[in-house]
Structure formats: structure tokens, C-alpha cells
Amino acid sequence: MQPDIASHRARRAQLLKTLGEGVLILATAPEAIRNRDAHYPYRFDSHFYYLTAFPEPEAVLVLIAGRKPKQILFCREKNEEREIWDGFRHGPKAAKEVFGFDAAYSYSEIDKRLPKLLENQPRVAYAFGADPAWDVRVMGWINTVRGKVRSGVTAPANLSDAHALIDAMRLIKDAHEIDLMQRAADLSAVAHRSVLRLCKPGMGEWEIEAELMRSWRVGGCQAAAYTPIVAGGGNACVLHYVGNDQPLKDGDLLLIDAAGEYHGYAADITRTFPVNGRFSAAQKDVYEIVLAAQLAAIDAVRPGNTFNTPHEAALRVLTQGLVDLKLLQGEVDGLIESEAYKPWYMHKTSHWLGLDVHDAGDYKLQGAWRDLQPGMALTVEPGLYIRPSDDVPEALWNIGIRIEDDVLVTEAGNRVLSAAAPKTVAEIEAAMM
């Protein structure tokens, strides 16, 4: 799927209006050395890509706001020798035309051109603190302009956070972004269905991980959206378990938190199922509690509710479930107020989703939870994690269950992007036959 260049240019135009006056400077991510002279696979900066669709390293976006707004890209020159070794480069001329910029220059010229672009500008917006080396570089350009004060040139007097300006835009997904997120979720759901058919006692967590990555890569995802969690048995009670190196035992559950990234956009799906294809009575009891909590939370994802409303809905069901399991005693309201549930449920139910798996955007405004609006996308992922303890019946030991879906807020309520991944007990057991 090709980038929607018109949408990216429109985002830059919108940001210029928000900026009002001044200059915004935004660099993409640098390449990273894995070891010696080998690099990690390159992945662009999400804020930069959101505005440019430009996928190459060593690139900087400059937006000049005011009466004569201008959109400028700095990128690497064409270089036949380097392209033989490392692959295609657009170069400034092609980048200007293909990606819809008003001007494009060689990255090697940035130190010469930026001070001139900052002259007589009242404001600089930049991602201060994101990269110390770039902080020094930007302040160096500003200081160069300050050095011309005796000639009548003024330097920017106001500094602002470019990321904060862009975060607010990224919260609301447009139609093209939603299509990309749906594709990421669909391909990730295919991978989850594939491992349901594959999983057997005696396999290794690593084999399941390999099948997940094979499946979504074959489907067209460029990478994993995050390091996969493939956690059998008690490993599922470690929230960020990524060892993925233990054998899968008959009678255990397997928690998989894994999804692909499609043209920069992440899916984020968690499913939990029995390694042998059949839930035990205790496993099923806990699973049905978590599923009921998730369904209640998804139902609470709708315009007019706050970001925290789904969490509150899930928490009430989970706490009642803990009472039903005889892990807690008392009234649900009081148990929630005292946070008595936290030994078994210690995380929030949702986070924003988009170009980043934990996507940009504030969760509160002026101390109050943000209202949900159409176009926002978030995860819904309640869970229960029951470790061995003298106070816990042995049948419940090492049961770790999380169920996570990707949910888009719509005018009518919500749409579950990841609905194709089996979720009910009956669906899971049927898929594993």
C-alpha cells in the first residue's frame, strides 16, 4: 500500500496553521549499530513519518509558518556507490516531487542553511530533550543567529515542544490510517489463528514466536510491532516476559501478546489459550471473568465516555470475579477503593494505538481524563495473573490470562479492528481441534 502523500502534505499544512508563526524542526530517527559494523533494521521516527511519509534516515523536516508558509525537506544526496551497497535513495530532487515539498536540500547543507532560515523568526518548535546531540545542534543554530544581532537580525526568543503539537494531531486517525491499522490487525489475527492450529504440548515458546513472525511477514507486515510475548504457564504472570525460550507443558495456558506492524502502523493483540486445546475447569472460570471484563470495557469505548471509563468497567467485573473465586472478600466498591485487586491485576486496561504501539497523545487534560472522540484508537486488555501462594487454591496457580483487542472509536460507538482473532472458549477450542 502506497503512502497517501496528499494526506501527509495536508497534515503539514494543518501544523503550519497551528504553529502560526516561526519554524518547526523535526529530525527522523538515526540508524543504530547492532554490533561492530552491523545495523539494526532501520525504522523511521513516527512523528517525522506522520508528517512526511519519507522512509530514509538522515532526513530533517523544516516547516516555516507565517504569511509565506514553506515545507522543506533535507535528505541524503543520490550516491551511486552507496546505493549499490545499501539500496535506493531518493535524493533531494526526487524527494521534493514524490513527497510534495516546496523545497528539498542535501542533508550535508543543513548546518549552512538552518541559521539563515531561523533569522527574524519569533519561535522555534523542536523535540527538545528527545536527542541530546540534536539539542546541541539546534541551540548552535540559534546561537549563530544571535551572533548577528548587531546587524539588525533577530533570533527566535520562544521555544516550544514540536512533539506536543503533533501528538494532538496523531490522536485522531484519518481514513487512510484506519485502513492501515485494520490491515495490521487482520494480518496479526491470521497469525494468532495459525498458532492455535499449530500449538501442541512439548513445543517451545520460540517455535510459536517463529510462526507468528512468519505469518504476518508473509502477509505483508514489515516487522513486529513490538517484541512478542510468548509466555507458557507461570511465565504469563510476568507482564513483559520476552524470554520465549521455555517448553510448553500439557495442562498449562499460553499467553501470546504479539502483533505486526504494517507500513508503520501497529496492531496489538493478546490471546490466552490452553496448550493442549482444552481449558481446565479452573482455567475456564478465570478466563470467563477476564473475557466478561473485556467485553464490558469494549462496550464502554464510545464518544462521550472518558479514556478511563473502559478501565472502570473492566475493574468492576474483575473485582467481582476475584470475589467469586474467593480470592477477595467484601463489597466490590470498597475493594476497588482500597485497590485490593492489585495483587492479581496491576496494570491499566488501555493505551493509545497507532504509529507507535503505545501511541502519542495525553490521557488527561488539565487533570481530567480525556473524552473519547471518533477516530481515536486504543487497546482494551484486562487480565488476571495468579501466582502460587498459600492464600490461593492450587488449581489457580500460574494462571495468567490477558485478552487484548484494538478498538476504534466511531460515531456510533466502536469497531473492534482485531475481531478476527478467536476469543471465546468455544472459538478457541474449535480452532485447536
The answer to whether 311 is a known catalytic residue is no
The answer to whether 385 is a known catalytic residue is yes
User: Where among 144, 170, 196 does a domain terminate?
Assistant: 170
User: For residue range 355-379, what is the model confidence (pLDDT) as tens digits?
Assistant: 999 999 999 999 999 999 999 999 9
Asked whether the predicted pLDDT for residue 395 surpasses 80, the reply is yes
Query: Could you tell me which residues come within 8 angstroms of residue 144 by beta carbon, excluding any fewer than 6 positions away?
Result: 115
Catalytic residue of the set 49, 252, 402, 405: 402
User: Are 195 and 99 in the same domain?
Assistant: no
Other beta carbons less than 10 A from residue 343's beta carbon: 16
Other beta carbons less than 10 A from residue 231's beta carbon: 28
How far is 287 from 384, CA to CA, in rounded Å?
9
Neighbouring C-alpha atoms within 13 Å toward the C-beta of 74: 20
Q: What is the CATH number of the domain that holds 163?
A: 3.40.350.10
Q: What is the CATH number of the domain that holds 286?
A: 3.90.230.10
Nearest by Cα to 273 from 210, 204, 384, 199 = 199
Catalytic residue of the set 56, 359, 404, 406: 404
- 260-262 vs 223-224, strand pairing mode: antiparallel
How far is 311 from 298, CA to CA, in rounded Å?
9
The answer to whether 299 is a known catalytic residue is no
User: For residue range 189-246, what is the model confidence (pLDDT) as tens digits?
Assistant: 999 999 999 999 999 999 999 999 999 999 999 999 999 999 999 999 999 999 999 9
Q: Quick one: pLDDT at residue 368?
A: 97
User: Are 213 and 164 in the same domain?
Assistant: no
User: Are 161 and 206 in the same domain?
Assistant: no
DSSP 233: G
User: Are 166 and 211 in the same domain?
Assistant: no
The answer to whether 186 is a known catalytic residue is no
Q: Tell me the sheet residues that pair with 73.
A: 61, 104
Catalytic residue of the set 56, 257, 261, 406: 257
User: Are 104 and 234 in the same domain?
Assistant: no
User: Are 134 and 239 in the same domain?
Assistant: no
**The model's pTM:** 0.95
User: Where among 119, 141, 170 does a domain terminate?
Assistant: 170
Write out the three cell numbers for 59: 532526513
The answer to whether 390 is a known catalytic residue is no
Structural domains counted in the chain: 2
Neighbouring C-alpha atoms within 13 Å toward the C-beta of 6: 3
User: Where among 109, 142, 170 does a domain terminate?
Assistant: 170
Catalytic residue of the set 8, 89, 263, 351: 351
Q: Quick one: pLDDT at residue 1?
A: 67
User: Are 310 and 241 in the same domain?
Assistant: yes
User: Are 331 and 403 in the same domain?
Assistant: yes
User: For residue range 140-163, what is the model confidence (pLDDT) as tens digits?
Assistant: 999 999 999 889 999 999 999 999
Q: Which amino acid does the sequence have at 398?
A: N
The answer to whether 263 is a known catalytic residue is no
User: Are 179 and 212 in the same domain?
Assistant: yes
The answer to whether 381 is a known catalytic residue is yes
User: Are 246 and 334 in the same domain?
Assistant: yes
Q: Quick one: pLDDT at residue 105?
A: 98
User: Are 20 and 102 in the same domain?
Assistant: yes
Q: Which domain holds residue 147?
A: 5-170
Assess contact for 188 and 382: CB atoms under 8 A. no
Q: Which amino acid does the sequence have at 122?
A: P
User: Are 163 and 182 in the same domain?
Assistant: no
The answer to whether 21 is a known catalytic residue is no
Query: Could you tell me which residues come within 8 angstroms of residue 327 by beta carbon, excluding any fewer than 6 positions away?
Result: 344, 386, 391, 392, 396
The answer to whether 402 is a known catalytic residue is yes
User: For residue range 293-338, what is the model confidence (pLDDT) as tens digits?
Assistant: 999 999 999 999 999 999 999 999 999 999 999 999 999 999 999 9
